[in-house]
A and B are shown apart, each in its own frame.
Chain A
Amino acid sequence: MISQLFLQHYWWIIVSILASLLVFLMFVQGGQSMIYSLPENSTQKTMIVNTMGRKWEFTFTTLVTFGGAFFASFPLFYATSFGGAYWVWIAILFSFTIQAIAYEFRSKPNNVLGQKTFDFFLFLNGSLGPFLIGVAVATFFTGAMFTLDQMNQVHWATHWYGLEALLNMRNLSLGFAVLFLARINGVLYIINTLDEEDLVKRSVKALITNSIPFLIFFLFFVICLLFSKGFAADPMTGTITIEKFKYIHNLIQMPVVLILFLLGVISVLYGIGITILRKSLSGIWFSGAGTVLTVFSLFLIAGFNETSFYPSLFDLQSSLTIRNASSSLFTLKTMMYVSFIIPLVIAYIWYAWKAINNNKITEAEMNSEEHKY
């Protein structure tokens, strides 16, 4: 007999996997954020845009599926965060909306707004998207200003509707860490897929300049996280209390998560290292896998081990946990059956990805391609 608690954990794992894949796939945004700084000429810019442009739908789809899965499995979070932290989510949506069309329209004649506008849209999405998603995820640890009434309906306690998250240093540091990580993965992907010597050289330089701020912001966030208070939930009563070093406790009490976290961080650093030191082209796979493991483990320490994954700073007892925010047993079970198809989805994505990425993208291909961004 499958229990609701098992399914709540199962679905938190699924949501965490989607979130970690999303952060990895934001290499597309990372690449976009560098379209003004990385290329030396318009051909190189076209190559970067087309390299990223062939993968933008994956990031976009993962974001939509992440939202849908959260809605289905933890609807109280969906209602609370989206309905309260309005401006953060609207800004994220806005940035992804302009991305989708920028690729398709930028190089088309008669596009009215001009190529420069659409390139700016790509830059805006590339910079703002990862940063804001990082800030939004940071509130899983730092909390938000809301209260829930007796009917579980959200009331936001500030008139900034989510923008107040930008005043918190820890939120900002994760936002910037995600942005620079996306940029690192972006250049690693360019190195892996483009056959253009000069651009690859410039990408290696960009890798160095982006790795330094990433490490600073990431370490700041992790150190703050480990030494900060956390929000613990009593499994019997559901009462939320403040617990010192909660996230260190989570890592110690869930050693597998600790190992995943360390493996993830090491893998990201290894991906960066072999690209800079050994001129390897495969850095993206190590960094990508590391990104997935790191984000996945961060989500697990946010939601597992009787932790509130969306704490309320205004009314502690309104804080959300995977127990009180989830769907019913029936819905979670139904969705679990649906989730069994995910390996098949991953398999065909892998197959199609390989088919398209078999050969490196060259300048000659850019000149002959009919469907060019």
Chain B
Amino acid sequence: MIGNIDMSLVDWSRAQFALTAVYHWLFVPLTLGLSFMLAIMETIYVKTGREEWKRITRFWMTLFGINFAIGIATGIILEFEFGTNWSNYSWFVGDIFGAPLAIEGILAFFLESTFVAVMFFGWNKVNKKFHLVSTWLVAVGANLSALWILVANAWMQHPVGMIFNPDTARNEMVNFWAVLFNQVAVDKFLHTISSGFLLASMFVLGISAWYLIRKREEQMAKKSILVAGVFGLLSSLMVAYTGDESARTVSKVQPVKFASMEALYEGKNNAGLIAFGVLKDTDKKIGEKKVKEFAFKIQIPGLLSVLTGGDRDAYVPGLKDHISGNEKLGIVSTAEKMQRGKYAREILTSYIKSRLNNDSAQISAIKGVFRDNDFQNKYFRYFGYASIEKPEDVIPNVTTSFYSFHLMVVLGFLFIMIFSVALYLLFKGTISDNRWFLWIALLSIPLPYIAGELGWLLTEIGRQPWIIQDMMTVSKAVSQISTGSVITTFILFAVLFTGLLISEVSIMIKQIKTGPKH
């Protein structure tokens, strides 16, 4: 871990993981949301006994099936890539990170995979109620699996519930509940699954709109819009609420990411919330990194201070505060953190040497240091900073963070409007006549996908250079394999995933054009 790292290996390993994650997230949200919508539709069928609801359920189930398998396929690669491409990371935090992945398999995947077979093939083999329960369990299983993987991801953003063990040179879990109920995990889970619900709702709304445009399957389309409209509106409101909560948490636990996503270089009181802005390069620098400025912005005065600090006068720290430090606010400078991190690393190196030399007195003395809370809180918590070369390296890509965040927020508000209008027109009975809206609904299908990817872009780019916030940089986490191997597998997976995506979209379009079976 202390040795030199080939940066091109790190970059390709990141590219491969990002590729897999981006493709995975193209398929999973639809599974998360559509599974619940299927359960709702089938519940209406079982309650009312009306065959048309069964037909509607089975139609959307066909599309669900096409999407389901590819989500699973990309998911397995993600899980194993932690080992294949990030083996140093896997050891350093496997004691904590592995548990949620194992629980995901035991509690969630089996639930999902067992009952998805009943859901697809059980229509004529099991009774109505058992089938309905199976459909609900698929939805619960899919969303439970999201819970555990998001708990794992949240821990990378905000590591809690562990202690470093110098004997094993790794972090070890000491509080499972702290890991599970990590504030970042709670926010992330609620925000992510509700974004999946939203996406699925837009998918159903958009396709139903297409049927109305083509004057086909009008009854099915209107009933689907009813479910999608209600589910989508509730989901989009939940997305907005949980997004706000999530941003507040980020401001506390990942303040550098927060300042980057607001492009806030200078901290200030009465800080405004940027509603819209365009960034431009300047000649100013923090260290060797160029500072961005707004070429144009629309902001709501004071709102950022209110949202993060509770009142307009609250001071919101900027990137410069985090790099140079702010004594008044108790913010330690990055240079100081780097010093402390290096000291912690020296202590660890001494410990390893003492063990090799069987120097029991020294071993005992250093163990005492590791048990000391002061050492843990003031020094070892900055262990990862020992790998940082320049203070400004802890600033993530501001342009990407800023635009991905703000575009996602704008889209989030657009979704609330679209679902509201859909429900209004549906209840008014004029939705079929408003072709302009039907086209908007149809063309909006890709937007939640874009919003979801932007969200993950912000989450992961905004966390850089860390793989585990403040504890381990991405470059130290990578597996020591040849760059050529990773490049080869990157190309292999890129071709495979792209081919599968094209196939899926093509099959999906054909099934939609064919429509439900009569």
Contacts and interface: CB of A to CB of B under 8 A. Distances in A.
Interface of A: 54-55, 57-58, 60-61, 63-69, 71-73, 75-76, 78-84, 86-87, 89-90, 93-94, 96-101, 103-105, 108-113, 150-156, 159, 161, 327-328, 330-331, 334-335, 338-339, 341-342, 345, 348-349, 352-353, 355-356, 358-359, 369-371
Interface in B477-518: 479-482, 485, 489, 492-493, 496, 499-500, 502-504, 506-507, 509-511, 514, 517
Interface stretch (B78-86, B320-328, B402-410): B78-86
A356 to B, nearest CB: 6
Given A81-B83, A86-B485, A104-B69, A111 B76 contact: no
Given A71-B82, A153-B480, A161-B481, A111 B506 contact: yes
A94 B492 contact: yes
Interface string B144-177: 0000000000000000000001001110111010
Contacts of A71: 82-83, 90, 94, 97-98, 101-102
B49 interface: no
A274 to B, nearest CB: 28
Most buried by B among A75, A84, A353: A75
Contacts of B79: 64, 67-68
Given A152-B168, A352-B115, A371-B120, A327 B95 contact: yes
B350 interface: no
B58 interface: yes
B77 interface: yes
B94 A78 contact: yes
A82 B90 contact: yes
A151 B70 contact: no
A110 B510 contact: yes
A352 B77 CA distance: 27
B88 A370 contact: no
B302 interface: no
B91 A68 contact: no
Contact of A83 (B1, B130, B481): B481
B187 interface: no
A151 B169 CA distance: 6
A370 to B, nearest CB: 6
Nearest to B105: A65
A105 B101 contact: no
Contacts of A161: 481-482, 485
A83 B84 contact: yes
A83 B65 contact: no
Interface in B107-141: 107, 109-118, 120-123, 125-126, 130, 134
Contacts of A63: 76
Given A71-B83, A79-B91, A89-B83, A104 B68 contact: yes
**Interface on chain A toward B: helix, strand, loop, or mixed SS?**
helix
A97 B98 contact: no
A65 B74 contact: no
B72 interface: yes
A117 to B, nearest CB: 9
A57 B514 CA distance: 27
Interface residues of B, number: 89
B73 interface: yes
B495 to A, nearest CB: 11
Contacts of B113: 57-58, 60-61
Contacts of B88: 79, 83, 151, 153
A108 B63 CA distance: 11
Contacts of B112: 57, 61
Contacts of B58: 370
B333 interface: no
B106 interface: yes
A101 B95 CA distance: 32
Contacts of A153: 1, 87-88, 91, 480
A55 B437 CA distance: 43
B479 A86 contact: yes
Contact of A104 (B65, B114, B165): B65
28 contacts: A60-B72, A60-B113, A63-B76, A67-B76, A68-B98, A69-B106, A71-B97, A71-B98, A72-B101, A75-B98, A76-B94, A79-B87, A82-B80, A94-B496, A98-B496, A100-B69, A100-B70, A104-B70, A109-B507, A110-B507, A156-B480, A327-B94, A330-B172, A331-B96, A331-B99, A342-B106, A345-B106, A355-B130
Nearest to B116: A57
A82 B105 contact: no
Contacts of B126: 355-356
B352 interface: yes
Contact of B489 (A66, A90, A152, A339): A90
A341 B481 contact: no
A141 B487 CA distance: 31
B104 interface: yes
Contact of B110 (A86, A98, A345): A345
A356 B118 contact: yes
A104 B126 CA distance: 22
B125 A97 contact: no
B420 interface: no
A241 B96 CA distance: 31
A371 B121 contact: yes
A358 to B, nearest CB: 6
Given A57-B116, A100-B72, A68 B481 contact: no
B273 interface: no
Contact of A369 (B121, B130, B509): B121
A112 B510 CA distance: 11
B274 interface: no
B507 A105 contact: yes
